[in-house]
Chain A
Amino acid sequence: MSKVVFDRPHALSDVPLHYCPGCTHGIVHRLVAQTIDELGIEDKTIGIAPVGCSVFAYNYFECDMIQAAHGRAPAVATGVKRSLPDKVVFTYQGDGDLAAIGTAESVHIAARVENITIIFINNAIYGMTGGQMAPTSLLGQVTTTSPYGRDPKIQGNPIRVCEMLATLDGTAYAERVAVDTVQHVNATKKAIKKAFQMQLEGKGFSIVEVISSCPVQWGKTPVEALEWIRTDMIPHYPLGVYKDITANS
């Protein structure tokens, strides 16, 4: 007798993803969908897609979805959640969306203690528009708009989002994870599930920052890109829990 040991989660739509070879968005999509399945919340979840590589996320999840303007997903999510407080609301945003154009929205969703979950993909680049510098691009990182490497005297310093949002009283849970190894993928799954669970328990704002790879715009092979996460990204963006109001209770 054969037994199914691995299958597509129901909450993940049965359509081809548009992501580039080696991109880790697909892994994170799957982890979010698995979480929705395991918590049995697809019927009462509303997801907000950003502008950026994951703009088509509205096609990839089986729950109700909204496509928001660039950076505005937390405000749209707030409008949904304040209208339907018993529903589960999450946004899925990249680094340009969340930490550049949408910085105000990202800070104030936490300040207002919105009971919403953000899945934040940090790959240190604007992928969709062709590899421009992101607010999280590393010092020295070559992009199409920092062709000589990011120079702090010209382009400033990268933003550490989890550390910043953890300073706000309204943030219930902030964890940075990565998807470069199997162990890290498993930890990411655990973090995403915890974030959704905290929303279900009404604990407040939760964010999971996922250090992800962008082989095409980084100019690396998929394997090299995963290695660069370990050698360059994680040293600047240390993994770990930055805020968890349930930790000592």
Chain B
Amino acid sequence: MAKVLMKGNEAVAEAAIRSGCRHYFGYPITPQTEIAEYMAKRMPKVGGLCLQAESEISAINMVMGAASAGVRAMTSSSSPGISLKCEGISYIAGCDLPCLILNVQRGGPGLGGIQPAQSDYWQATKAMGHGDLHLIVLAPSSVQEMASLANKAFDLADKYRMPAMLLADGALGQMMEPVDLDGIKAPEAVCKPWATCGHDGKRKKNITNSLYINPDDLEKTVIERFARYETVKANEIMYEEYLTEDADIVVVAYGITARICRSAVAMARAQGVKVGLFRPITLWPYPYEALGRLADTASRFIVSELNMGQMIDDVKIAINCRRPVDFCGRTGGVLLTPEEILNAILGGKK
């Protein structure tokens, strides 16, 4: 159980390797470049590959090829680079391929900035490329979770044959914390009978494809995929609650913001305010039901994000708009302070 001090970006890279990933395809972009640098150093030592592509577009398509070949593959980038990957992610989703995509978010739109943000929530959970599709989206909130959720994301991607995204941010990528990597292990060989790895004369050919020229065939394929999504919703929702049992006010936050909110909740509790924190860990599938139950007892909700208010829509859906929902956020790469959130809890609106 030896803990090591690591940056979030390093922890996620090491966790991916320990999860059995031997194929990393990347392209430099701040604030996630340490991942490619870590992979470049470590992969050759473990018989793996770190390949710097000519673009984010090429990197995600290399991931598609590797995933189709049957290996655990991943790419990482930050917001503007993730936009470039959307085309490839749509194809990967349409081809039912498992892989890990990491977004260490920075401010946007456009080139935006290089400081931490959460303004790609809508993109990750609602519009990750064209077409009817979802990714499994996990939101780590510590360097430890950068590692453990990377491992979890690979397992879920393989289990459900779909791409998984780790939605982090520049703060989680850059900050250092003690991490325990002992529990992070590769699974026993995952059976992938669909892989395009050469039929070896032993089976009919496999085809990796997202094209269905007949609308009825495409509709059928999408409906079947959405039935699989329902299984993911039924089995894989993750969230964390902190002091919500008797909470009159519930703060809802994920990722780095949830850390800051936790401090604010503790400060408000010290002043006798009955407030709790609900932290979604899976952003897709979203914990609508668990959050909705809190509206039976709580009278007010506060959503806190590093954007102009994106997850707030899901919170309103979760509680069926039964209670007022306030928003407390900063954007453009500006971090929230516990005092700002405390102020929102105490009744001042940001």
A: which residues have CB within 8 A of B? Answer: 42-46, 48, 55-56, 58-59, 61-69, 72, 75-84, 87, 104-105, 107-108, 111-112
Given A66-B65, A69-B91, A43 and B70 touching (CB < 8 A)?
A: no
Contact assessment for B196 and A76 in the assembled complex, using a CB-CB cutoff below 8 Å: no
Contact assessment for B208 and A66 in the assembled complex, using a CB-CB cutoff below 8 Å: yes
**Smallest CB gap from B70: residue in A:** A83
Q: Cβ of B53 < 8 Å from any Cβ of A? A: yes
Contact assessment for A44 and B65 in the assembled complex, using a CB-CB cutoff below 8 Å: no
CA distance A81 to B206 in the complex (A): 16
For B188, list chain A residues within 8 Å (CB).
none
Known contacts A43-B201, A61-B205, A79-B63; 15 further A-B pairs (Cβ under 8 A): A46-B198, A64-B196, A64-B198, A64-B207, A67-B95, A75-B59, A76-B61, A76-B62, A76-B65, A79-B66, A83-B23, A83-B66, A104-B54, A104-B57, A108-B54
Interface string of B36-77 (1 = CB under 8 A from A): 000000000000010101110111011111111111010000
Contact assessment for B198 and A79 in the assembled complex, using a CB-CB cutoff below 8 Å: no
Contact assessment for A104 and B55 in the assembled complex, using a CB-CB cutoff below 8 Å: yes
Contact assessment for B64 and A68 in the assembled complex, using a CB-CB cutoff below 8 Å: yes
11 contacts between A and B (CB under 8 A): A48-B65, A68-B61, A75-B58, A75-B59, A80-B65, A80-B69, A82-B65, A83-B69, A84-B197, A105-B58, A108-B58
Contact assessment for B208 and A83 in the assembled complex, using a CB-CB cutoff below 8 Å: no
Contact assessment for A66 and B54 in the assembled complex, using a CB-CB cutoff below 8 Å: no
The answer, among A78, A80, A107, for a CB contact under 8 Å with B196, is: A80
**Smallest CB gap from B92: residue in A:** A69
For A75, list chain B residues within 8 Å (CB).
53, 57-59, 61-62, 64-65
For B57, list chain A residues within 8 Å (CB).
72, 75, 104
Contact assessment for B73 and A83 in the assembled complex, using a CB-CB cutoff below 8 Å: yes
For B91, list chain A residues within 8 Å (CB).
68-69
How distant is B93 from chain A, measured CB to nearest CB, in Å?
12
**Smallest CB gap from A79: residue in B:** B65
Contact assessment for A44 and B88 in the assembled complex, using a CB-CB cutoff below 8 Å: no
The answer, among A48, A66, A68, A84, for a CB contact under 8 Å with B198, is: A84
How distant is B110 from chain A, measured CB to nearest CB, in Å?
21
CA distance A44 to B198 in the complex (A): 4
Q: Cβ of B34 < 8 Å from any Cβ of A? A: no
- Most chain A CB within 10 A, of B23, B54, B196, B210, is at B196
CA distance A104 to B59 in the complex (A): 12
How distant is A40 from chain B, measured CB to nearest CB, in Å?
10
Q: Cβ of B209 < 8 Å from any Cβ of A? A: yes
CA distance A55 to B209 in the complex (A): 10
How distant is A5 from chain B, measured CB to nearest CB, in Å?
26
Interface string of B73-95 (1 = CB under 8 A from A): 10000000000000110010001
For A62, list chain B residues within 8 Å (CB).
205
Total A-B pairs, Cβ < 8 A: 131
Contact assessment for A77 and B58 in the assembled complex, using a CB-CB cutoff below 8 Å: no
The answer, among A66, A82, A108, for a CB contact under 8 Å with B68, is: A66
CA distance A63 to B196 in the complex (A): 9
For A79, list chain B residues within 8 Å (CB).
23, 25, 61-69, 73
The 7 closest A-B pairs by CB, nearest first: A79-B65, A75-B61, A79-B62, A64-B196, A83-B69, A79-B66, A76-B65
The answer, among A64, A67, A87, A105, for a CB contact under 8 Å with B210, is: A67
For A55, list chain B residues within 8 Å (CB).
211
Q: Which of B243-274 contact A (CB under 8 A)?
A: none
For A42, list chain B residues within 8 Å (CB).
199, 201
For A105, list chain B residues within 8 Å (CB).
54, 58, 61
CA distance A65 to B68 in the complex (A): 10
How distant is A116 from chain B, measured CB to nearest CB, in Å?
10
Given A79-B68, A82-B51, A65 and B196 touching (CB < 8 A)?
A: yes
**Smallest CB gap from B64: residue in A:** A76
Q: Cβ of B296 < 8 Å from any Cβ of A? A: no
For A59, list chain B residues within 8 Å (CB).
207
How distant is B98 from chain A, measured CB to nearest CB, in Å?
13
The answer, among A45, A63, A65, A83, for a CB contact under 8 Å with B65, is: A83
Interface string of B178-209 (1 = CB under 8 A from A): 00000000000000000011111110011111
For A80, list chain B residues within 8 Å (CB).
65-66, 68-69, 196
CA distance A176 to B95 in the complex (A): 33
**Smallest CB gap from B209: residue in A:** A67
Contact assessment for B207 and A82 in the assembled complex, using a CB-CB cutoff below 8 Å: no
How distant is A139 from chain B, measured CB to nearest CB, in Å?
30
CA distance A104 to B202 in the complex (A): 36
For A68, list chain B residues within 8 Å (CB).
61, 64, 91
For A64, list chain B residues within 8 Å (CB).
196-199, 205-207
Given A79-B73, A82-B62, A67 and B205 touching (CB < 8 A)?
A: no
Contact assessment for B62 and A78 in the assembled complex, using a CB-CB cutoff below 8 Å: yes
- Most chain B CB within 10 A, of A46, A80, A105, is at A80
**Smallest CB gap from B90: residue in A:** A69
**Smallest CB gap from B87: residue in A:** A69
**Smallest CB gap from B213: residue in A:** A56
**Smallest CB gap from A89: residue in B:** B65
- Most chain B CB within 10 A, of A42, A77, A79, is at A79
CA distance A22 to B88 in the complex (A): 34
Contact assessment for B207 and A58 in the assembled complex, using a CB-CB cutoff below 8 Å: yes
